[in-house]
Amino acid sequence: MIKHAELIAHWEAMENAKQSIVTELDQWSAENHLKQPEGGWSASQMIEHLLASEWGTLGYMKKKTSSGFEAIELAGAENAQSSQALNNRLASGERYKAPAVLPDPVGATDWAAQKKQWDAMRVDFEQFLNQLTPEFFDRLVFRQPLAGPLNLFQTLEFVQHHIEHHQPQLERIKAALAI
């Protein structure tokens, strides 16, 4: 459980976004999870992409915060504007190519294994957040490929909105496979 009051709403929003995907995919057969519709990703590839994004985000923040908050620049109005523009873009419904920093997903991992990976990553994420003191909250702890540097709360909003951005993709895959 998240200890810092300021983080609770962000954590719950991330967990709710994840749970929406999990609830849907728990209803799919293993075969459908791995099927790739023509011209698009399979559900497995989509989850692999989300996992790579979250692992990368968490890893970056761990490294960035490892030497203390004093060494990290404070966020400002420009970062808030970039964060809002990113969230608006993710909410737009438009499709975008994944940033080059993320590997192309292969989609060969079954749903049960991916779900375990996601759960384990979230345990690690939660432990990381719980060890941060409030002095880190307004620091630029993550560099998002499109938006640039973000503070902790902006980063957590990005993770949430990124997952929500892929929900319509999951619906398109489901429709293409006639599930």
Residues 44-101 have pLDDT tens digits of 999 999 999 999 999 999 999 999 999 999 999 999 999 999 999 999 988 888 887 8
Per-residue confidence band for 6, with pLDDT thresholds at 50, 70 and 90: confident
Specify the pLDDT at position 2.
81
Query: Is 34 inside a domain boundary?
Result: no
Query: Is 95 inside a domain boundary?
Result: yes
Q: DSSP letter at 136?
A: G
**Does an H or E element contain 150, and which?**
strand 148-151
Query: Is 74 inside a domain boundary?
Result: yes
Query: Is 125 inside a domain boundary?
Result: yes
| 140-144 vs 148-151, strand pairing mode | antiparallel
Query: Is 35 inside a domain boundary?
Result: no
* Model confidence at 39: pLDDT above 90: no
CA-closest candidate to residue 36, choices 96, 105, 118, 99: 105
- 147-171 pLDDT, tens digit per residue, is 999 999 999 999 999 999 999 999 9
- Residues 41, 49: Cα–Cα separation, whole Å: 10
- Residues 59, 11: Cα–Cα separation, whole Å: 17
Specify the pLDDT at position 53.
97
- Residues 114, 93: Cα–Cα separation, whole Å: 25
Q: Based on the structure, what is the number of domains in the chain? A: 1
Specify the pLDDT at position 65.
97
Query: Which residue range is the domain that position 62 belongs to?
Result: 5-28+40-176
Average pLDDT over residues 114-133: 97
Per-residue confidence band for 179, with pLDDT thresholds at 50, 70 and 90: confident
% of the chain beyond a pLDDT of 70? 100
Q: What is the DSSP string of 54-120?
A: HHHHHHHHHHHHTT-GGGSPBP-HHHHHHHHHHHHHHHT----PPPTTSPPP---S-HHHHHHHHHH
Q: What is the mean pLDDT of the chain?
A: 95
Query: Is 64 inside a domain boundary?
Result: yes
- Residues 93, 83: Cα–Cα separation, whole Å: 17
CA 79-81-86 angle, 5° bins:
95
Query: Is 33 inside a domain boundary?
Result: no
- Residues 139, 69: Cα–Cα separation, whole Å: 7
Query: Is 112 inside a domain boundary?
Result: yes
Specify the pLDDT at position 94.
85
